[in-house]
Structure 1
Amino acid sequence: MDKFSQRSEAKEWMDDLQCSGRELDQTIRELKTINRLLGGNSVTTSGLDYLMRQRPQEQYAIADLGCGGGDMAIWIKKWSLQKGHDCKVTGIDANPNIIALARERCRAAGMEVDFNVANVFDPGFLQQGTDLITCTLFTHHFTNEELISLIGNLKQSGSIGIVINDLHRHFLAYYSIMGLTSLFSRSAMVKNDAPLSVLRAFSRNDWEHILKAANVEKFKISWNWAFRWQVICWF
């Protein structure tokens, strides 16, 4: 069977919640560079902009799930300040080592962002009053069944909506990132996880199935460079 025909369920090294140390730090730094150079950050913030225009209000509480080293949460905070939005941003990740790194980076950036250690499948992990939820390169870590459950729960938690920014499962994306990381990466974790993340990624049909199974009625799916799906759900 063509390995691109369906999602892989192989685990990435980063899925180990105990991973830490120099390898993790190098991985987080390289992923930040890759995401910035390929324009991935704007996929999340343009989704937030769409939802904010739909539901304008004086303040927004934003939860960034699977925040990793905090780069996206910090980016969202900077973007919100530039746009003149009053936003409280909270990054959430299940790995305490990554959250410690995110807090260090936040202090260095001089940004006011909160970071919490929490498992997104635990009841009540999300703060009450959360308006918007973002998931950037996070959802591909889970099976379809896990995502149906997670999005169904988030639907009850986010008062406005969810922005998902994740990869398109495509042979060109797979072989491109494999070549780039083999040439330029100094992280064994990146060399392993980056191509595998593409195999764990999504087709449009995957997203349509997941959202309908989670009983999400209002959503928009759009393709963005470089090989990203932007999925916006609103309630």
Structure 2
Amino acid sequence: MPDFSQRSTALEWMDDLSSSGDIIVQTLKELDTINRLLGGNNISLTGLKKLLSRHPEKRKEKIVIADIGCGGGDIMKLLAGWGRKNNLQLELIGIDANPHVLEYARQNTKDFPEIRFEQIDIYSKAFSKLKFDIIHTSLFTHHFPEPELVAFYSQWVGQVNMGIINNDLHRHWFAYHSIDWLTRMFSRSPMVKYDARLSVLRSFLKADLEHILHKAGIQSYDIQWKWAFRWELVIYA
């Protein structure tokens, strides 16, 4: 039985930025399917609604959203579609370190001119100088150890006008065994089969998130548990 008391430090296949070709395409497609069917993508949308409720004046202005670790761009499509239906002017900037992922994402979002992509080093001074209304991440922060997350949040909160949305996994035995069974039964991607369980082991308890935010000096936030074993973390600027 894996140890669920603390976060795993093992690396996922997705952490290899040279990953490319059919395995990346298949993985990104399957991740979109899993996240849609289990309701994970909608957590990002509810986070956006919470920030808008705090800043109703922004409904009449352009809202710039940076999606860090954007993957295939599927959540950006969800947000863009919702924005269109609600007469919002959204500018969505997908940021990812893997150029092969961005190549797929650009094709995947070609019908959404409000979406664009940048390959930017989020550790760089150039990135730290950028300003956004919202920074969003989904299934991204669990890839990093606590000291880096503390540094990220400390920096990001100064880069946004509205806030930060973090959509990530709850480390729990049921989530671990459920995703193991689902991917063994239905996945055709070796990367998904390997990374899925490990992603759960690298993810968070509520206490982990609270500890990281405390060390980052962040006090204004909301953490909600969501199905299926997700955390919706909204940080208010």
TM range (shorter): over 0.9
For structure 2, the 5+ residue unaligned runs are none
Distance 2:13 2:130 in 1: 32
Distance 1:127 1:45 in 2: 26
2:66 is the counterpart of 1:95: no
The corresponding residue for 1:152 is 154
> Match for 1:76: what amino acid?
L
Displacement of 1:129? 3.9
- Asked if structure 1 preserves the Cα contact closer than 8 Å seen for 2:90 and 2:114, the reply is no
Displacement of 1:160? 1.3
2:111 is the counterpart of 1:105: no
- Calculate percent identity across the aligned residue pairs: 45
Specify the SS of the correspondent of 1:68.
Answer: coil
- Asked if structure 1 preserves the Cα contact closer than 8 Å seen for 2:80 and 2:112, the reply is no
The corresponding residue for 2:72 is 69
TM-score (norm 1): 0.96
- Asked if structure 1 preserves the Cα contact closer than 8 Å seen for 2:67 and 2:95, the reply is yes
The corresponding residue for 2:42 is 42
Classify 1:19/1:2 alpha carbon distance in 2 versus 1 (closer, same or farther; 3 Å). Answer: closer
Stretches (4+) displaced over 3 A:
126-129
Displacement of 1:205? 0.2
For structure 1, the 5+ residue unaligned runs are none
Distance 2:16 2:39 in 1: 27
The corresponding residue for 1:172 is 174
Measured against aligned partners, the alpha-carbon deviations of 1:22-66 in whole angstroms (never above 9, x if no partner) come to 011100000000000001111111111101110121221111110
Displacement of 1:142? 0.5
- Asked if structure 1 preserves the Cα contact closer than 8 Å seen for 2:128 and 2:155, the reply is no
Distance 2:203 2:123 in 1: 20
What is the total number of aligned residue pairs between the two structures? 234
Distance 1:149 1:95 in 2: 22
Specify the SS of the correspondent of 2:132.
Answer: coil
> Match for 1:39: what amino acid?
G
